Structure 1
Amino acid sequence: MATPPTTPRSTALPHDIEWRLPRHPRSVGRARTLLREQARMWKLPDDVTETAVLLLSELMTNAYRHAKVPPGREIRARCVETDGRLRLTVTDASDVLPVVRETGPEDESGRGLPLVAALADDWGAEPRPCGIGKTVWCELRCAPELP
C-alpha cells in the first residue's frame, strides 16, 4: 500500500505576546523594556529590535496621549513574530483613527506616525471588531528576503 505524499510543514510556532498596560506615560517605557526582553528571548536581530522598540514607543505614546477615554482604560500592546515578520499592534479604547499630518520645523510633536510610515515595511489602523476602540499596527521584516 502506497503512502500519500506529505507536504513539509514548518514546525516553528509563531511567537506571540500581549501586554496590558495602564494609560499612563510610564507605560511607554515599560512597553519598550518588555519588547527588548522578549526580542532577546526570540533572538531577533539587534537592528530589527531597535527599530521595533522605537516604533512601539511611538504607537504607545500616541495611544497614551491621544486616546481620550475614561480613567482606568488599558492600552494593549501585542507583538507577533512569524514567517520572518514582526507585527506590533497597539489597541486603545478611542474610536478616533490616527491621521498622518505634516509638521514644520517649529512643531514639537506630530512626527510619530511619519516615523512609523518611514521605518515600517507596512502599517495601518482599523476600528476594533467589537466596536470599541481601534488598533494601530506596523510590520517589520526580521529575516532576510529571499532572492
Structure 2
Amino acid sequence: MLPTRGREPAVIRRWSSGHRSVGRARAELRNALSGWELSRIEDDALLVLSELLTNALRHACVPGREIETRFAPVPGGLRIEVHDASETRPSMAVPGEDATGGRGLLLVDILARRWGVADGDGPGKLVWAELSTRERQLDGEEP
C-alpha cells in the first residue's frame, strides 16, 4: 500500500492500452494534485507520469491485462506508481544525438527525487517515482 499524508487516500486507476489512457491519467493526476495543494509540482509530475505510463503501454502491455496507476502525497512531495503485468524491467538508455526517442527515463531521473522498479503484488512489476515539493537544484548549485 502506498504511504499517504494524513487521511488523503491514494488515487488508483486502471487503464486499457488505448491511446487516450495517458491523457486521461494526466487529467486524474492534475485533479489530485489540486486537491492535495500540490499544484506547484504539476508540470514535473505530469511529465513523469506521461513517461512512465507511456513506457508501460509501449513495452510492458500484456494482452488482457490493464495497467494501473497510483498517486499519493508523501511527506515532502508525491509518489507516482505504474503497475503492469510484464516481468521485463525498464532500463535507462543513452540514445544517440539523432534518436527521436529513448529519453523518457533520463527525464524521470532528472525530475524525480528518486525512482525505481519493484516487484508487483501479483504478476509483473511497478515502476515508481517520488517528486519533491522543494526546488530542484542543478549539479554544481549550492543548497
The answer to whether TM tops 0.5 is yes
Taking the aligned partners of 1:15 and 1:81, their CA distance within structure 2 comes to 8
After superposition, the Cα gap between the structure-2 partners of 1:143 and 1:101, relative to the gap in structure 1 and judged at 3 Å, is closer
Q: CA deviation at 1:93?
A: 0.8
User: Percent of pairs identical after alignment?
Assistant: 43
Among candidates 96, 121, 125, match of residue 134 of structure 1 = 125
Partner Cα distance (1:91, 1:97) in 2: 11
What is the aligned partner in structure 2 of residue 91 from structure 1?
83
Contact 1:15–1:82 (CA under 8 A) maintained in structure 2? no
Instruction: State the alpha-carbon separation in 1 of the partners of residues 9 and 121 from structure 2.
Output: 23
Distance 1:119 1:81, change over 3 A: same
**Whole-angstrom distance in 1 between the partners of 2:20 and 2:132:** 28
* CA radius of gyration, larger in: 1
Q: TM-score, normalised by structure 1?
A: 0.82
Gap regions ≥5 residues in structure 1: 1-10
Structure 2 residue 38 is matched with structure 1 residue 52: no
Aligned CA distance change for structure 1 residues 32 and 133 (closer, same or farther; 3 Å):
same
> 1:15 and 1:122 mapped to 2: Cα distance?
22
TM-score, normalised by the number of residues in structure 2: 0.85
Hey, which bits of structure 1, 4+ residues long, moved more than 6 A? none
* 1:68 CA displacement: 4.2
Map of 1:1-147 to 2, 5 A cutoff? 12-46=6-40, 48-70=41-63, 72-130=64-122, 132-142=123-133
Residue deviations 1:6-58, cap 9 Å, x none? xxxxx932441111111222101111111111111111132x11100110000
Aligned length: 132
